[in-house]
Amino acid sequence: MTGAGRLPRLLESPRPAHLVLRDGTVFAGWAAGAAAVVEGEVVFNTSMSGYQEMLTDPSYHGQILTLTTAHVGQVGVNAADAESDRIWARALVVQDLDLEPSSWRSEAGAEAWLAAQGLAIGWGFDTRAIVRHVRTAGAVPGLLATDGSPPPALLERAARARGTDGRDLTREVACSAPADWREGPWRSPSHPAAAAAGPQPRVAVVDYGVKRSILRRLVAEGLAVRVVPPATPAAELLGGGYAGVLLSNGPGDPAAVAGAAAMIGELVGRLPILGICMGCQLLGLALGGRTVKLPFGHHGGNHPVRELSTGRVLITSQNHNYVVQESSLPREVEVTHINLTDGTLEGLALAAAAISAVQYHPEAGPGPNDSLGVFQTFAERCRRRVS
């Protein structure tokens, strides 16, 4: 806690910060972390926790992340919860930044970790007003200035700010060489994960910006995981002894990922395929569909999705700005899940080819675990292929 009579260090010599949007709207607050002017597409996430997982999720590359939860930093950070080895969000905007962590799993304070990573942080902002504006205007590009630059000097630059449309950002976040992944989900020291029984089918994860939680869930299902770069040729995947292929999440515009749809098309009907988020969009393109951009995207851990085959409603974790347009898909492609908030596509399948995909994140990280069955089904398909 802060000593009596002493201001928190962020208030001892506060620096002004401004969020300046391309449409000329300006929001004011205070600065922490790096002193910079950062450009990105402004999005908001409605999750109540999980800021470390969000910031290290490669899908946030190119975006300024605004969190709707009132307090950020209260549980600190730790190595086990990181979804990659660095922060990918361009900047962070919050209402309140807590300085003292209060979790037994914390290894460091969030503010110190964010500053060490060189992230520009805006705090003390009216995040409710930002969210209301983005819901009306869409995911608007803009600038977060934490270096003291006055808003009038930033308006012209903000007017030229780029969003994610037409940009392939996957190559900037993906691996450049294949690598095996063996780590399973985090368990407490007193409750270690059980060893997987039986054969371990080998699967390839095409890395468009994969989260570690996805890799951990595959290991938990008894699969031997090999992460490969996005430019890996289909022939290499077909000849690599793999029992299945997972197409991962990732940032940017799926229609701009050159060569991905063609490569995936060569795999259709020859290996079981599971697509997640960006992987769902790329699979939709490979099957003849189109992708469109949502007004302000789906970002949060509380999105209701109906599983059409059972009528069951899943509460899901989501992080995407683009979606497969249902009406563009060929007749033989089955729509399996629908978002109950806006009716958009949340899942598709081509059962005859052992193909399925979900737009949401079944691994959560952060979020609910309603959808872990997605990994179980994929693992069963892979095991049947090698049995």
Q: What is the CATH number of the domain that holds 344?
A: 3.40.50.880
Measured between alpha carbons, how far is 141 from 220 in angstroms, rounded to an integer? 39
Q: Residues 195-212: what's their mean pLDDT?
A: 87
Judged by phi (left if over 0) then psi (alpha if -120 to 50, else beta), residue 307 lies in: beta
Q: What is the pLDDT of residue 7?
A: 42
- Which of these three, 130, 159, 188, is where a domain ends? 159
Measured CA distances, 371 to 274, 312, 381 (Å):
14, 11, 17
Instruction: Give pLDDT tens digits for 216-265.
Output: 999 999 999 999 999 999 999 999 999 999 999 999 999 999 999 999 99
What values do phi and psi take at 8, rounded to 5? -55, 150
Residues 219, 104 share a domain? no
- Which of these three, 122, 137, 159, is where a domain ends? 159
Q: What is the pLDDT of residue 6?
A: 39
Q: Which of 18, 320, 337, 361 is catalytic?
A: 361
Residues 194, 325 share a domain? yes
User: Considering the domain boundaries, does residue 198 fall inside one?
Assistant: yes
User: Considering the domain boundaries, does residue 7 fall inside one?
Assistant: no
Q: What is the pLDDT of residue 186?
A: 79
Q: Using the predicted structure, report yes or no on whether residue 201 has a pLDDT greater than 50.
A: yes
Q: What is the pLDDT of residue 5?
A: 40
Q: What is the pLDDT of residue 14?
A: 84
Map residue 301 onto helix, strand or coil.
strand
User: Considering the domain boundaries, does residue 1 fall inside one?
Assistant: no
Residues 346, 210 share a domain? yes
Q: What is the pLDDT of residue 51?
A: 97
Active site residue 175: no
Residues 180, 147 share a domain? no
Task: Quote the tokens at residue 276.
Answer: 């997640």
Instruction: Give pLDDT tens digits for 123-144.
Output: 999 999 999 999 999 989 999 9
Q: Amino acid letter at 204?
A: A
User: Considering the domain boundaries, does residue 350 fall inside one?
Assistant: yes
User: Considering the domain boundaries, does residue 281 fall inside one?
Assistant: yes
Measured between alpha carbons, how far is 165 from 160 in angstroms, rounded to an integer? 14
Residues 240, 154 share a domain? no
Domain encompassing residue 226: 170-386
Confidence of residue 303 (pLDDT cuts 50, 70, 90): very high
Q: Which of 39, 133, 363, 382 is catalytic?
A: 363
Q: What is the pLDDT of residue 3?
A: 38
Q: Amino acid letter at 179?
A: A
CB contact at 8 A, 174 and 46: no
Measured between alpha carbons, how far is 137 from 130 in angstroms, rounded to an integer? 10
Residues 180, 148 share a domain? no
Residues 361, 239 share a domain? yes
CB contact at 8 A, 36 and 68: no
Compute CA 240 distance to the chain's CA centroid, rounded to the nearest angstrom. 28
Residues 190, 120 share a domain? no
CB contact at 8 A, 308 and 336: yes
- Which of these three, 140, 159, 178, is where a domain ends? 159
CB contact at 8 A, 57 and 63: no
Compute CA 181 distance to the chain's CA centroid, rounded to the nearest angstrom. 19
What is the pTM (predicted TM-score) of this model?
A: 0.93
Measured between alpha carbons, how far is 79 from 72 in angstroms, rounded to an integer? 18
What values do phi and psi take at 385, rounded to 5? -70, -30
More confident residue, 197 or 144: 144
Q: Residues 195-201: what's their mean pLDDT?
A: 71
Could you give the count of Cα atoms lying within 13 Å of 334 in the half-sphere of its Cβ?
13
Q: How many residues does the chain have?
A: 387
Residues 233, 104 share a domain? no
Confidence of residue 199 (pLDDT cuts 50, 70, 90): confident
Nearest to 237 by CA among 192, 195, 203: 203
Mean pLDDT of the chain: 93
| CB neighbourhood size of 334 (10 A) | 15
Measured between alpha carbons, how far is 280 from 318 in angstroms, rounded to an integer? 13
Residues 129, 27 share a domain? yes
Instruction: Give pLDDT tens digits for 139-189.
Output: 899 999 999 999 999 999 999 999 999 999 999 999 999 999 999 997 755
User: Considering the domain boundaries, does residue 303 fall inside one?
Assistant: yes
User: Considering the domain boundaries, does residue 77 fall inside one?
Assistant: yes
Residues 330, 197 share a domain? yes
Alpha carbon distance, N-terminus to C-terminus of the chain:
58
Q: How many domains does the chain have?
A: 2
Contacts of 188 (CB under 8 A, 6+ apart): none
Residues 205, 81 share a domain? no
Cis check for the bond before 251: say yes or no (omega within 30 of 0): no
Active site residue 41: no
User: Considering the domain boundaries, does residue 164 fall inside one?
Assistant: no
Q: Which of 41, 277, 298, 337 is catalytic?
A: 277
Instruction: Write the DSSP string, 347-361.
Output: EEEEGGGTEEEESSB
What values do phi and psi take at 326, rounded to 5? -55, -45
Taking only Cα atoms into account, the Rg of the chain, rounded to an integer number of angstroms, comes to 21
Active site residue 363: yes
Task: Quote the tokens at residue 306.
Answer: 């109906």
- CATH number, residue 142: 3.50.30.20
